[in-house]
Structure 1
């Protein structure tokens, strides 16, 4: 295993191939971190890219083993892998509900289960999950997505409480609508009517969400179990 040092800080980012995950991975890499990206697709701007399905617990465990063999002990985890779709509740069938929960919620829990015990054993570490403003406030047409992201808030707060005193902090970033490929060009979140409700008159940028994640990662155990919502001023 590689030796851990200040020059070789190791981070794992799920969903690092695109969108918010790619922004977080890029920001960590620019800050001197050795980043391992876990995604179904190849991850750019990472020291190591591992193609893995975050809903597969065994595969995620093997991926984290590889990361620690090749890069060193994982000090930071950001769970950014996720999916999104808008549907009225009557159109959310069992398959769509299961996929949303499997990727967004179970993917978060599975990755934390693979990484966090290693952090606890070393007595230090920081985890940032990615939730959503919709998981806090809800929205029409977002029932299954909001449920999955709201559950991440509860999961994060419970895990932070469970890890109190271990040296491991756990927080969540709950962004507002973000300017990523996850939002289709005709999405109502991109409409002029919605943007006009925001003080900055635009969607949140991925790099702003990454900055929020890095802020939480830098607070140590002084901040844990908290929700930070970069949302273009939507809740001012």
Structure 2
């Protein structure tokens, strides 16, 4: 007897797993660009520092005193008073010379405040007067020192510190150096007047706070 085989009983092939889709690589994460921090703002210096102010006002007082004494004593007859005033005048001159050297060193090592807004010609004139004043701070006392040496009167600073002579005693040279010293002194006086005139203009007309840059107190 033939056995009828049911096709349904035939073994079926095992189902194949579905083909996996190829993996798509994930796009790399894009990090937001980090911008560098802006540089810290640089503080703008608008006033002179305390040391510069001190040099300025002490020198101003010393120059006024030395000029006043020199003007007064020039017409005095020879006397003990005249000799005393000459010594005071010379001591003031040497002090001005020393302070000017220290002030110049401080000025070169410390940045001054920025210029105020002004026309270019005024700025040029202000800087020219500024540096001419520095030159006169040295020229006037040095020429006076040389004149005193040529006249045969050594300088003993405040009666304590003998200073070396610039030149040997020479009457003719002394007269020449006296005139040179006077010319330099009057030149310094004119520069001071020009400086004061500019300050008055800035205070009265411009009203831009220039004088406050050289006065103690808050900006």
Normalization by structure 1: what TM-score? 0.27
Greater share of helix: 2
Which structure is higher in strand share?
A: 1
TM-score by length of 2: 0.28
| Larger-gyration structure (1/2) | 2
